[in-house]
């Protein structure tokens, strides 16, 4: 199977500032959530380049990372090593986590729309059931997505992600029936480099709040909360620009 991130992994982190600096609201969200649910061990099952592994390590958690992409895992390895942090990393499809992990975690997280890479509801349920399968009783699953009911309704075509003196990154989004193609347009405009690169990922299916709730219930989660921001605002279909789901096993 081809890895869509192979040609993007080394540039992925241009979304963010320094690897060891996180948005304070995100940090406080996880600190508060993990304290409330007595979370010590955390599996980030779509860990990408490892930014959130570093954050959870800073929050004194026992951290594990997995991802399906060898290229993203290699970048995570480099990022963590350069910050002197050691985290076990495994290549695993998040639809099959019990094949890789015999232990149960206090929390499993799947962040930044990674579950949109599931082609349909059957595969989404497979993924959520697998994540549930490596959670202890009372443990929590955390999902986040940058696309919300509101953004799906408004269908913005251009979203600036980064706009610095030397570099600009823009999402240019094509919408179709139930899915969307995200084109990531990078413009380098520093004195040494003036060029453009485009990378795209296609989501066959964008899962909104009610789709996620239905899938969570079908795989056995009956206690869950949807937030619309990292400040614990309740999710509002009309207003929220992002979605966070927290489900308790
Ligand atoms: C948009 S990136 C998000 C990475 C990271 N969570 C973040 O917040 O930066 C999506 C990640 O999901 C991973 N992914 C996609 N499908 C997966 C699957 N079936 N199992 C595990 N990881 C998967 C991709 O390889 C990629 O690293």
**125-156 confidence digits (pLDDT tens):** 999 999 999 999 999 999 999 999 999 999 99
Domain membership flag for residue 2: no
State the closest ligand 1 atom to the C-alpha of 12, by its place in the atom list counted from 1. Answer: 9
- For residue 113, tell me if it sits in a domain: yes
Residue 61 lies in a domain: yes
Q: Which of 109, 114, 131 to mutate for ligand 1's pocket (most ligand atoms within 8 Å of CB)?
A: 114
Cα dist from 172 to 89, 240, 244, whole Å: 32, 20, 23
Q: How far is the CA of 192 from the centre of ligand 1 (A)?
A: 31
The percentage of the chain sitting over the pLDDT mark of 90, rounded to a whole number, equals 96
Q: What pLDDT score does 1 carry?
A: 76
CA 198 from centroid of its chain's CA atoms: 21
Over residues 56-77, mean pLDDT: 98
pLDDT in tens, 218-248: 999 999 999 999 999 999 999 999 999 999 9
Residue 102 sits in the same domain as residue 44: yes
Residue 163 lies in a domain: yes
Average pLDDT over the chain reads 97
pTM above 0.85, yes or no: yes
Residue 45 pLDDT level (bands cut at 50, 70, 90):
very high
- Centre of ligand 1 to C-alpha 117, Å, is 8
The ligand 1 site (C-beta within 6 Å) comprises 5, 46, 48, 51-52, 67-69, 72, 93-95, 111-114, 117
Crossing angle of the two packed helices 51-58 and 24-36, in degrees rounded to 10: 60
Do residues 172 and 58 both lie within one domain? no
Distance in Å, CA 66 to ligand 1 centroid:
9
Structural domain range at position 135:
9-149+206-248
Q: What is the CATH number of the domain that holds 215?
A: 3.40.50.150
Same domain, residue pair 132 and 166 = no
Percent of the chain with pLDDT over 70: 100
Which uninterrupted H or E stretch holds 3?
Answer: none
From CA 59, how far away is CA 52, in angstroms rounded? 10
Same domain? 50 vs 166? no
Residue among 29, 45, 46, 123 whose CB has most ligand 1 atoms within 8 A, to mutate: 46
In a domain, 4, yes or no: no
Average pLDDT over residues 42-64: 98
The answer to whether residues 85 and 159 belong to one domain is no
Residues 194 and 227 in one domain: no
Tokens of 101: 């992990």
Q: Is residue 44 part of a domain?
A: yes
Strand order across the 179-190 sheet:
158-163, 167-176, 179-190, 193-203
């Amino acid at each position: 199977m081809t890895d869509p991130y192979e040609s993007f992994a080394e540039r992925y982190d241009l979304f963010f500032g320094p690897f060891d600096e996180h948005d304070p609201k995100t940090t406080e969200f996880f600190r508060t959530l993990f304290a409330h649910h007595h979370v010590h061990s955390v599996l980030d099952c779509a860990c990408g380049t490892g930014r959130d592994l570093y954050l959870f390590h800073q929050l004194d958690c026992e951290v594990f990372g997995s991802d399906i992409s060898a290229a993203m895992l290699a970048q995570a390895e480099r990022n963590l090593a350069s910050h002197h942090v050691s985290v076990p990393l495994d290549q695993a499809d998040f639809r099959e986590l019990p094949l890789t992990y015999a232990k149960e975690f206090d929390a499993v997280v799947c962040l930044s729309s990674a579950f949109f890479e599931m082609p349909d509801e059957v595969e989404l349920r497979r993924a959520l059931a697998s994540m549930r399968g490596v959670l202890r009783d009372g443990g929590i699953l955390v999902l986040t997505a940058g696309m919300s009911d509101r953004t799906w309704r408004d269908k913005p075509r251009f979203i600036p992600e980064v706009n610095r003196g030397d570099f600009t990154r823009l999402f240019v989004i094509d919408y179709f029936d139930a899915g969307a193609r995200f084109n990531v347009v990078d413009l380098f405009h520093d004195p040494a480099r003036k060029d453009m690169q485009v990378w795209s990922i296609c989501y066959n299916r964008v899962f909104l709040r009610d789709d996620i709730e239905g899938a969570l219930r079908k795989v056995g989660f009956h206690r869950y909360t949807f937030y619309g921001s990292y400040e614990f605002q309740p999710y509002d279909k009309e207003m929220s620009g992002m979605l966070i789901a927290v489900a308790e096993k």
